[in-house]
Structure 1
Amino acid sequence: MNSSPVNDPLELLTNKGNRQPTFLAPIWNPIAGAVAGFGVALFVNWGFRKPVFSGIQKHIAFTLLGGALGSYFDNKRDQYVAKRDAVLRHYIELHPDDFPKTNRKKYGEVLESWVPVR
């Protein structure tokens, strides 16, 4: 008999503290937005045929705006993912017959043996 642990569908949608975010996870989107904002300022100056670094206030404003938008969209995505997981968790709790607990299998139990044909 297989003595591997049992897969519970609800465990997939719960964070029990065993998965830690990386160092860049909370700051990646704001930094990407700030870099994109700075790039937009450079592109606007280039499009108007000005020196690309002229008007430092424009670069600062676009960088801050890009960082704020990156942070805003990161928070919105977190809210969306949390709501989606809550809806899925609730559905699994209401329909436990559709999501039975299964034993975990190893690749050796699932894959067939391979014999090369030459």
Structure 2
Amino acid sequence: MKASKPKTIDEYIQTSPEESQQIMKVLKELIESTVPRAEGGISWNVPIYKYNGILAGFDVAKKHVSFGIDALKEEDRKALGDMGYKTGKKTVQIKFDQKVPIIEIKKLIKKQLKLNEK
């Protein structure tokens, strides 16, 4: 595991396994470019972005990066599953050898933004 807890998102990415870093960089860029006003930081020892509440976050696991977002619903899980991504109730697993589903993730971030603005 990591020797000391990272204090920034960039530090978290840099101290994670090399094969996970590009996926996390893409997710970071997607979140920040979709919601530039979102505040990123480390919460619960993982990168979390907030805007009127929690917007989205990600975490590295042994063989994948987990992208977490409350806006993930059944139709989203089905679509992502059909594309070969494993999903949980509020997470999308992106294996180290998979590309980030950019269009789908961006839609989820926008959907969560609308939910948070209500």
| TM tier relative to shorter chain | under 0.3
State the TM-score, normalizing by the size of structure 1: 0.25
> Which one has a larger percent helix, Structure 1 or Structure 2?
1
Q: Relative contact order (C-alpha < 8 Å, sep 6+): which is higher? A: 1
